[in-house]
Structure 1
C-alpha cells in the first residue's frame, strides 16, 4: 500500500515573520541546536458544528464555544512557530442545529460543501480522523461531507463491509489507515531538512451499536489497539520518523476488548510518539480531569510517558503538543515533549470572559448558513401552557423530561396499535440532557410559556437519536431504575447538608421511567456503578414501585419506549440491549416531539411527580443548579427545596429536606 503523500511546505514552515523578542519562545525553540528541531502540533476535537460562538439552543452568543475563536489560537501558534501542524480529531458533522439544518432541511448534493468543512478549509489542516457522530446521518451523507474537505482523513479500524480479515493489514478499510507526510523541517540553526511524519486515526468501535441503523451490514470495526499494533509497524517500515495518533477515544486505564476509551493503551503501542485524544469532552492535561490514574500524568500531559492532549469540546480549547526532535543521521526521533490544552475563555467570578477574538475568515465562511440556521431554529411549531425548564431535573420529576415522555408514549402507542404488542402497557424512559454539569451554570433548558420554536425542541432533546421500543419485564424495569439511581450518593440518615449528586455519573444516563410510580431510598448504597458494574448486589434503592396503583409484577411484560443509544446498550444498563428491541422507528426523538406539539397545538408539560425520594427524617442534601432556578421552586412537587447559597463556577446551591 502506497500511503505516502507529498505535502506543500506552505503552512508547515511559518518562517520567522515575528521579530525575535516580541514573543515568548517555547523552551524547545529557545534551545534547539543545529541537529534539533521544535515541532508544534495543534488539535481541534469534538467541534460538533459549533463553528461560531453562538448557542442556537439559547439563541444568543456564547463565549465558551466556537471554532472561529479556536482559530485565533491556531493563528497565534503559527505566527510564533517555525514548524507547525494542525489536525482534527473527529465529531465535526453533528451536534448543533446548524448540523441538523444541513442534514434535515438543506441536504447535501454532490459538490456541496458542508459549513463546518467550509470553516475548516480556511485553517490549513494537515489531516483529520472520524468521530462516532460522523455516522449519525448515514454513510452517504458522511461521504458527501468528507468530499468537500481540502485535507485528508484517516481511520485504521473502520472496515468497509462486514468481513474482518485474519490479519488487520488485509482489511478492506473505509478510509486510508494512515498517511506519511513528506515535509521540510527547520532546525535550530535555520537549516531545512526532510522529515516523514505519519498520522494514523481511530474511531470508537461502539459506533456499530450507537448507529446500527446506519452501519449494520455496511461496515465493521476493530479494536483500536489491535489495529494500531498492526499498522504502526508498517508506518515505521515506510520510513515514518514521527508517528502521531488521532484517537477519537478517551482515557480509561481499565483494559477491556473493543474499548471505547482506549487512548491510554494506544500510548503503549511501540512506535507511536504522540496521542491526540477526544470523545469524552474533557480537558487533558489539566487540574480537574483524569486525576489519580496510574500511568496518567495530568500535569505533564503524558499517557504511559508519551505526550497526549484532549482539547475539550465545541472549540472550547485548542490542544497543543510540542515535540523536541533530534536528528540521528538521516532520521529524526522525539527526545522531549510538552502538552497543553489552551482555552478560548476563562471564568472571572460568575462571568465567562473571552480570551480571544473571532478569526474573521471562519465567520465569513459560514455567514449564509448561520443566518439560515437562525431562521430554522426560530420557526414556531406550537404552544406550551407552562414553562419548560430543567433546573431541578436531577432531583424531582421535571417538565422538560415529562414532555419527552409524553411525546414518546403518544408516538409509540399509535405505531404499535396494530401489532402483537398492542395490549401491553407502554412506559417511557427519558433523561435530562441539559442539567448543568460540565456545560456550566447556564446549561439548562428554560422555555417560557407560549410559543415553542424548533430551537426549543432541540433544547429539550439535544441529539438526533431515533426512537426504539423494547419489551421488558417488571423485574427489568426495576433494575433499569436501580441503574439510574446510581447518580445519587449514599446519604447518612439524620445528617444535614450532604452532597447529593455523583458528578462522575452522566446526567444523560439518569432515566426517569414514566407510567410507573416509585421512590428512591438514598440511605441505600447504589446497586450499580457508572459503567453498569454491580457494586452492591443486595441493595434496593427503588421502593414502592407501582404500576396502575399496584405493586409491579416482576414477571409482567411492558413496552418501554426510549432511543437507539439506550436500546443499543448505551450506558450499560442491566439486560437492556438490542435483544429487547421490538420496534425500530424511522423517526428521531426530536422529530417526534415536534410532531406531538403540532398534533396537540398546545401542550401541558406539568410534571406528575411519579417519582420522589423516600423520607429520611432530620436529613438534608445539597445540590447545585443554575441561579435562575429560584423562580421555579414553587412549581416543584413532592420535595421541599430551599436556597442554600452560592456554588462554584456560577452555580447556586439548594437544599432538600428529605
Structure 2
C-alpha cells in the first residue's frame, strides 16, 4: 500500500522509506531447530517478502540492519563449532543478507561470542559495510572520541539519488553511524579484554555526529544496537536509544537489542517515548522485534531548500510477518526463494548436526514451570556444571570447598510465545535437545563466595516475583519484565522464598528494600548456612563477569575460567553417564501465604507435566493471553 507521503510529495520534496531489520540471530529460515519443525513467527526469508513489497511500492528506500546477526541458533553454532569459518568463506546469514541489498549494518553484542577472528572473517564476506562508533581497537582511548581508532569504521556517508514529487532527481547524502552496548566488555571479556575497548554510546555520538555533518551528511541515521530505557542518562548505559535521540544532529534512531517492538505498548510508560507518533524525544524511531519477526519502517517526507534537506513529516511502524488470531499463528507472508536458496546447504547440514544423538534421558526435560518451582531442565544443567567444576578444581587450593551451581531457565515463554519452552520427551537426547536446554554459547566459570553472598545472590533472583498479600485470591506471581535468564536457582543448598516480603532488589539489580529478606531457611548440608563460610559456585561467563548486577558476583570473585562452553559441558556429562535422570529435587519452594492464591501463565503443553511438579500443587485456571495457559497455586 502506497504511503500517504508519496502522494503528498511536491516538487523539491521526496518520500524516503528507511527499512530496518534487527536481532536476526542467524534465523534465516522460518524453522525452529530446537523443536525440529517450521515456525511462522520468524525468519529473514519471510521478512524479505515485506522488503520486496516496500521496494515495489516506494520510489525511494534504503535497507539497514541493527546487529546481532551471526549468533543465536544451532545454525550459528554449527558454523562456529563444526564447519568453521576461514577467511574467504561467507557466513550463511551474511550470504542471505547479501541477496537483499543492505546499505549498512552495525554490530550487536552477540557478534563477539565466537571471538574477534571469527567475527572479522564473517564481516569480510559482507557486500555491505559495518559501522560502530563506540568500539575502539586496543586498550587506549583517544582524548577526542572522534579520533578513536575504531574496530570498524564509526560511520559512513552514502550518496543517493531521490526522485521528488515532480519526478526530478535530487542528490542526498545519507549518514549511518553505529553503536553497541558497552557491556560487551563484561559479557565477552574472554574474547575482548586487551583487544578492544568501548565508549559510552551518547558520548561517542556527541563527538562523531558533528564530524559527519561537517563531512556533508544531509541526514544522520543512528543504527543503535541498544534499547529504550526511560531512566536518567548514565555513563555506559546499556539501553541508551532514548538519550541518543537527544543528541543534536541525529535525525532518525533505529533501535534493537531488547527484542521488543517500537512503536508499541512495550514502551507506553517510558517518558520521552511517544508510541502514538513513533518518536524518541521527538525524533522518528523504530525497533523491529527480533529474529525477523518485523520489518521496521521509518517514513520521511523530506524537502530540499538551497541544498539543505529537512524533515517535514515522519511516521514509524514495525510491520509483522505474522499475526495471532484465536490462539493460532497465521503467516502474513511467504519466504523469498532466493534467500532460502542461499542457505539451503547450511540449513540441511544444521539439521543433521542437531539430530545427532549423544545419550538417553530416563525422564522428560521441560521448562513449563521453571519460574515457579524447581525444574528438571535447570536441574540437569546444574548437575553437569557441578560435575565439571568439581573435576576441574581437583588438586587446586579450592578442592574440598562445597561446590554449588547457579543456573537459570532460558526458554520460559515470555516474548518468545507459548511454545517457547524446553520440551524433550524421555528417550534419546540429541544435540538439538542440549542446545535447547542451554541456548547461549557461554563458557563455564566458577566464583568463590561467602554464605552471605549466596543469600544475596538468591535475593536478587527472587526479585522475579511480585509481592503477595495474605488472604487475597489469584494474585499475579511473576513480574513479566524480569528476564528469566536472571532467575538463578542455586543447587547444593535448600531455601524457601517468602513472597509476603517486598523484593530486596529490583529487576535491574538495584537494592530497593534494604530491610527486606525473601530468602528464608537457607541451609547447606542440612544446617543453616554460615554467612562467613566459603563456597565455590559454578556459573557462566555472563554472570561471573557481572551480568545481571548480582551483588558480590564480579570478575574479582572468579577462581576458574573454563575453556569449554556450558553447552559442551552438558553434552560431555550426558555422554559420560549415558543415561540421565533429570528429576528436580525441590531444593527451593515458597513459604505458604495464608489464605492466598497466585496465578501465572505458561505454555498449554505444560498441562501434561503439572501434576508431577514437586514442592507445589498446580491447578489449571483457564486460558491466558496470546495463546498461553493460566495456572493457579493455592497456599
TM-score by length of 1: 0.96
Instruction: For 2:615 and 2:170, locate their aligned partners in 1 and report how far apart those are by CA, in whole Å.
Output: 71
Are residues 1:278 and 2:256 paired? Answer: yes
Q: CA deviation at 1:379?
A: 0.2
Matched, 1:66 2:43: yes
Task: Tell which deviates more after alignment, 496-505 or 326-335.
Answer: 326-335
What's 1:345 paired with? 322
Aligned ranges 1:67-106 → 2 under 5 Å: 67-106=44-83
Q: CA deviation at 1:617?
A: 2.5
Match of 1:560 in 2: 537
Query: CA offsets, 1:372-413, max 9 Å, x none?
Result: 000000000000110000011011100000000000000000
Q: Distance in 1 between matches of 2:505 and 2:609?
A: 32
- Which residue matches 1:12? none
How many angstroms does 1:64 deviate by?
0.4
Measured after TM superposition, the shift of residue 232 of structure 1 is 0.4
Matches within 5 A, 1:314-393: 314-393=291-370
Asked whether 1:425 is paired with 2:402, we answer yes
Aligned position for 1:267? 245
Q: CA deviation at 1:171?
A: 1.1
1:405 alignment counterpart: 382
Give 3-state SS (helix, strand or coil) of 1:401's partner: helix
SS in structure 1 at match of 2:471: coil
Is 1:257 paired with 2:225?
A: no
The answer as to whether partners of 1:195 and 1:331 remain within 8 angstroms in 2 is: no
Please tell me whether the aligned partners of residues 146 and 211 of structure 2 are also in contact (alpha carbons under 8 angstroms).
no
Equivalents in 1 of 2:32, 2:88: separation in Å? 28
Matched-pair contact (CA < 8 Å) for 1:242–1:334: no
Alignment of 1:130-209 (within 5 A): 130-209=107-186
Question: Deviations for 1:472-521, whole angstroms, at most 9, x for unmatched residues?
Answer: 00000000000100000000011111110001111110000000000001
Aligned length: 634
Any runs of at least 4 consecutive aligned residues in structure 1 with deviations exceeding 6 A, and if so which? Answer: none
Per the alignment, in what secondary structure is the counterpart of residue 553 of structure 1? coil
State the alpha-carbon separation in 1 of the partners of residues 617 and 101 from structure 2: 55
Q: Distance in 1 between matches of 2:90 and 2:505?
A: 45
The offset of 1:350, in angstroms, is: 1.2
1:99 deviation in Å? 0.1
- 2:511 corresponds, among 531, 534, 545, to 534
Q: Please give the secondary structure, in 2, of the residue aligned with 1:480.
A: helix
Partners in 2 of 1:193 and 1:483 — Cα distance? Answer: 56
Give the Cα separation in 2 of the matches to 1:131 and 1:638.
40
Aligned to 2:412, the other structure's residue is in SS state: coil
SS in 2 for 1:111: coil
1:123 and 2:123 correspond: no
1: CA distance, partners of 2:514 / 2:41: 42
Q: For the aligned residues, what is the CA RMSD?
A: 0.7
Determine the C-alpha separation between the residues in 1 that align with 2:212 and 2:594. Answer: 65
Question: Which residue number in structure 2 is paired with residue 14 of structure 1?
Answer: none
Cα deviation per residue 1:197-247 (whole Å; 9 max; x = unaligned)? 111001111100000000000000011111100010011111111110000
Match of 1:46 among 13, 18, 23: 23
Q: Which residue matches 2:563?
A: 586
Give 5+ residue unaligned stretches, structure 2.
none
Distance 2:628 2:141 in 1: 49
Structure 2 residue 75 is the aligned partner of structure 1 residue 107: no
* Superposition deviation, residue 25 in structure 1: 2.0
Residue 27 of structure 1 deviates from its aligned partner by 1.3
In 1, Cα distance between the equivalents of 2:271 and 2:448?
A: 42
Moved more, 610-619 or 138-147: 610-619
Alpha-carbon displacement from aligned partner over 1:620-657 (angstroms, at most 9, x marks no partner): 10011111111112211110111111111111111101
Q: Within 2, Cα distance between the matches of 1:417 and 1:266?
A: 49
- The answer to whether the Cα contact below 8 Å between 1:498 and 1:621 also exists between their aligned partners in 2 is yes
- Equivalence map 1:464-479=2 (5 Å): 464-479=441-456
Equivalent residues of 2:12, 2:303 under 8 A apart: yes
Give matches, 1:446-461, under 5 Å.
Answer: 446-461=423-438
Matched residue, 2:591: 614
1:57-99 per-position Cα deviation (integer Å, ceiling 9, x unaligned): 1100000000000000000000000000000000000001000
Deviations 1:527-568 (A, max 9, x none): 100111111111110010000000000000000010011111
Kept in 2, the 8 Å contact 1:318–1:341? The answer is yes
Instruction: Return the match for 1:443 from 420, 426, 432.
Output: 420
Do the aligned partners of 1:185 and 1:193 also contact (CA within 8 Å) in 2? Answer: yes
Question: Where does structure 1 lack aligned partners over 5 or more consecutive residues?
Answer: 1-23
2:522 alignment partner, one of 545, 555, 558 = 545
Once residues 74 and 299 of structure 1 are traced to their aligned partners in structure 2, the CA distance between those partners, rounded to angstroms, is 23
- Matches of 2:41 and 2:330 in 1, distance apart? 8
- Measure the CA separation in 1 of the matches of 2:280 and 2:520: 43
Partner of 1:17: none
Whole-Å separation in 2 of the counterparts to 1:299 and 1:580:
46
1:269-308 aligned at under 5 Å gives the runs: 269-286=247-264, 288-308=265-285
After superposition, what is the alpha-carbon deviation per residue over 1:16-60, rounded to whole angstroms, capped at 9, x for unaligned? xxxxxxxx3211111101010000000000000000100001100
